[in-house]
Structure 1
Amino acid sequence: MLITDGYRAQQAKLHENPNYGVASVQFAPLVSQLINQFGVRQLLDYGAGKGRLAQNLKPAHEVKVTLYDPAIPQWSVLPGPHEMVACIDVLEHIEPDCLDDVLDHLAGLVQRLGFFTVHTGPAIKVLPDGRNAHLTQQPARWWLPKLLDRFDLMMFQKTEQGFWVLVAPLGNK
């Protein structure tokens, strides 16, 4: 299961806040650089929120961007595999009981590259039920084995609030 109905409702309510779902803007230049470097023509924004990544990309060539977010009705249709998948400030929001399923889902969607960011501490925002919006607050050493079970690591970078990784499907060179 990727998300429970109750949590989908919590996320939909939280997305009403105009300042929720803005982390992708700061990563848009890096994602644009990766798109250009690897000649990516097809990008899935997994957990797209308000679609701000797509709005802020500046690739040097045409890129078809697909948005997926289970809490946004118009973007809630399950996507198929894509050449590149960006999952920015999403994984720490996933319900702990659903996290392995979401990571498995991502593994089935990434054809060439995955760009994932993880914030490892508490969020500023809280869910309508009072929980911190970051349901999983774990250090990189906790996250990396989960990612490496499903992907080949191409790059790892610590950030002020967590880390990002560039990954490829297992077995790809």
Structure 2
Amino acid sequence: MNAELVEQYRLLHERRPDYGSGASHVERIAAIIERRGVRSVLDFGCGKGALVERLRARFPEVVVDGYDPAIRGRERIPLERYQMGYEMVIANDVLEHLDAEGYGEDLLEMGRLEPRWLFFNISCRPAVNVLPNGVNCHTLVRRPEWWREVLLACFPGFIEHGSEWNERSKGWMLAMTRPLELEGRRVAIVGNAPQAMGNREDVDGFDCVVRFNNFVVGDGYEAVGTRTDVLAIPACNRAVITPRLKRFTEGVSYVLDLATAGCVQAKANHGKIRQLLPHATIV
């Protein structure tokens, strides 16, 4: 972000104690931290630090830092942590405030921290507030399609973990992650047919367990294990299946939206699984 724009935001923060004091999507972020065992988090563009404080209180064992060039005392990422990197970088209501000409450098700076997880919440409409110079606070208003293309290009090697559009607020949430590193590891892809009960191998002992649709675990199905790392659900069935599976999916790390039956869709499904499990053999 260029120095002139940073100064405008600094003035706004100083004049408006309430500006930049929000902390949205806490539960979504907390779920990733809990389920993926994240040990270090950077809130990139943290404002007055409300989200940082809430995450620190909830996860005292996790390193949670805040960075914002417009906030005195938070203008720099701690040097030691900058060198070590962060497992998760958050940009919560931040990207729409970037310089329309130099936003790429800010995104590259996030990438230099070598995170495993990225969480973005982006407003896609003009802001209510204006900067002291009269310019709208949202200096980079774009549609989700534009942001998706830019973010996937700026963070090569990452895949989309999940996204959501809020029509009312015109806000778009995107979570990205690196593919599972499973080269040389054991992956169990567990089907739901009765024949699966004949396999007595310890499914939970595999490094990664993939399940499909409305699977069953426990209650006499101990042979197919209890752990689920990847859940593959046809997109058209997600609303029906997910509520019934809630008690089985608390630890799910990835959910794949698969296409329905058909040759073309099958190829698409293989592509999605291959993207998430790049070293797996897909048959």
- Do they superpose with TM above 0.5? yes
The 4+ residue runs of structure 1 with deviation greater than 4 A are 169-173
Uncovered stretches (5+) of structure 1, i.e. residues with no partner: none
Q: Quickly say closer, same or farther: Cα 1:147–1:171, change in 2 above 3 A.
A: farther
How far 1:168 moved relative to its partner?
A: 2.1
TM-score, normalised on structure 2? Answer: 0.56
Cα offset for 1:97? Answer: 1.2
More strand as a share of residues: 1
- Name the SS of the counterpart of 1:105 in structure 2: helix
Structure number with greater CO (CA < 8 Å, separation at least 6) is 1
Would you say the 8 A contact 2:13–2:19 is kept in 1?
Answer: yes
CA distance in 2, matches of 1:48, 1:95: 17
Superposed displacement of residue 56, structure 1: 2.0
Given residue 41 of structure 1, which amino acid in structure 2 is its aligned partner?
R
Task: Measure, in 1, the Cα distance between the counterparts of 2:178 and 2:108.
Answer: 11
Question: Taking structure 1 as reference, are residues 170 and 83 closer, same or farther at Cα in structure 2, changes over 3 Å only?
Answer: same
Change in CA separation of 1:43 and 1:60 when aligned onto 2, cut-off 3 Å: closer
State the match for 1:55 in structure 2: 53
Match of 1:129 in 2: 133
Which residue pairs with 2:19 in the alignment?
A: 20
**Is contact 1:35–1:59 with CA below 8 Å preserved after alignment?**
no
Superposition RMSD in Å: 1.9
Between the aligned partners of 2:114 and 2:28, the Cα distance in structure 1 is: 18
Larger mean CA deviation between 8-17 and 160-169 belongs to 160-169
Note closer, same or farther for the CA distance 1:60–1:74 as it changes in structure 2 (3 Å cut): closer
* Identity of matched residues, %: 32
Task: Give the conservation status (yes or no) of the 8 Å contact 1:85–1:110.
Answer: no
TM-score normalised per structure 1: 0.90
- The size of the alignment, in residue pairs, is 170
**Among residues 146, 149, 157, which one is paired with 2:164 in the alignment?**
157
Q: 2:112 aligns with which of 108, 116, 120?
A: 108
Offset at 1:73? Answer: 2.4
SS at match of 2:127: coil
Structure 2 residues without counterparts, runs of 5 or longer:
182-275, 277-283
Contact kept in structure 1, 2:38 and 2:87, CA below 8 Å: yes
User: Which AA in structure 2 matches 1:9?
Assistant: E
For 1:85, the aligned partner's letter is V
Against the structure 1 CA distance between its residues 54 and 78, is the aligned structure 2 distance closer, same or farther, given a 3 Å change threshold? closer
Deviations 1:128-170 (A, max 9, x none): 0101000011110111100111232111111232211111248
Of the two, which has the highest radius of gyration?
A: 2
Contact 2:42 2:67 (C-alpha < 8 Å) held by counterparts: yes
